[in-house]
Amino acid sequence: MNNEELENNEFVEEENNFEEELEETNNNQEETEEILDNEPKEKKKKHSPCIIATGILATLAFIGVVVIFIMSFCCKDGSCGSPNASSPATVVQTGDLKIAYVNTDSVLANYEYAKDLEKGLKVFQTSLESNYQAQGQKLQSDYENYLKTGDKLTLTEQKRKEEELTRRQQEFPMLQQKMMAQLQERQLEDNKKLLNAVYAFIKDYNSKNQKYNIILSRSYISSSILYADEGLDITNEIIKGLNQEYKDIKGK
């Protein structure tokens, strides 16, 4: 016997018990009314509220049984469940969508063009530093020379030389800032060249092979990919193609 039949039987038994109680109550009420007919009207008014209360309680008990039965019947399918119950997660079907990713850290470490750009940037940085040091040494030398030979100059020449040395000394810190800006600008240009080269190759590679709908970038420092199957990693394939392309360009 299943739960629904058990609940139906319980309801029938409760309903029969209620009918017996209600019938017994009616019999008692009739007997009471007969007795009350023979008593004074004041006593009759005194016992009436008890009888009414008994009838009300019996009616409420019956209504409660009916409500419980209806709720238990309706909630069998879970429609009366808790409002906080979470619904099953929707599964997104990818269909024929093909996805791969490239580890950009490996590209920067193994792409020959990236290595050459890095070397060129270091050479440029060294050149700026050498120029900065040379100008600093020249300023120091000119100042020391003025201290030694300045007294041989006329007052007008001394004043002109002092103004020149003061101006150069004030501009020297600005020279360092200017060189730093030049270095940053060169670095941004090299990064742009590198990215354009990688993007162009990947686009050409994918159009020729027609492999993937999406190719993501993964990096150890900053990446939106927390986990990816190694089978989606095409880094080595991309690096190999990039180096071959760069080798062909340099050989021309």
pLDDT value, residue 77: 43
* Residue labelled with tokens 């999406």: 214
Confidence at residue 90, expressed as pLDDT on a 0 to 100 scale: 37
Side chain identity at residue 50, one-letter code: C
The model's confidence at residue 20, banded by pLDDT at 50, 70 and 90, is low
Q: How far apart are CA 148 and CA 131, in angstroms?
A: 26
Tell me what pLDDT residue 114 has. 95
Residue 82, CB half-sphere, CA atoms under 13 Å: how many? Answer: 3
Instruction: Tell me the Ramachandran region of residue 210: left when phi exceeds 0, alpha when psi lies from -120 to 50, beta otherwise.
Output: left
Q: Compute the distance between CA of residue 31 and CA of residue 26 in angstroms, rounded to an integer.
A: 9
Q: How confident is the model at residue 202 (pLDDT cuts 50, 70, 90)?
A: very high
- The percentage of residues in the chain with a pLDDT greater than 70, rounded to a whole number, is 62
Confidence of residue 49 (pLDDT cuts 50, 70, 90): very low
Helices (H) and strands (E) in the chain, counts: 6, 2
| Residue 209 pLDDT > 60 | yes
Q: How far apart are CA 64 and CA 67, in angstroms?
A: 5
Q: pLDDT (tens digit, 9 = 90+) per residue, 131-188?
A: 999 999 999 999 999 898 888 888 998 899 999 999 989 988 899 899 999 999 999 9
Q: Rounded to a whole number, what is the distance in angstroms from the first to the last CA of the chain? A: 88
- For residue 194, the model assigns a pLDDT of 95
Quick: pLDDT tens for 117-133. 999 999 999 999 999 99
Please tell me the distance from the alpha carbon of residue 113 to that of residue 245, in angstroms, as a whole number. Answer: 10
Phi, psi angles (nearest 5°) of residue 209 = -95, -25
pLDDT score, position 30: 54
- Look at residue 75 and tell me whether its pLDDT is greater than 60: no
Average pLDDT over all residues of the chain: 74
Kindly report whether the global pTM for this prediction surpasses the value 0.75: no
**Environment class of 100 (CB within 10 Å of its CB; exposed 0-12, middle 13-18, buried 19+):** buried
Instruction: Tell whether the model's pLDDT for residue 42 goes beyond 70.
Output: no
- Is the C-alpha dihedral spanning 75, 80, 85, 87 positive or negative? positive
Q: Given a cut of 90, is residue 91 above it in pLDDT? A: no
User: Does the pLDDT of residue 53 top 60, yes or no?
Assistant: no
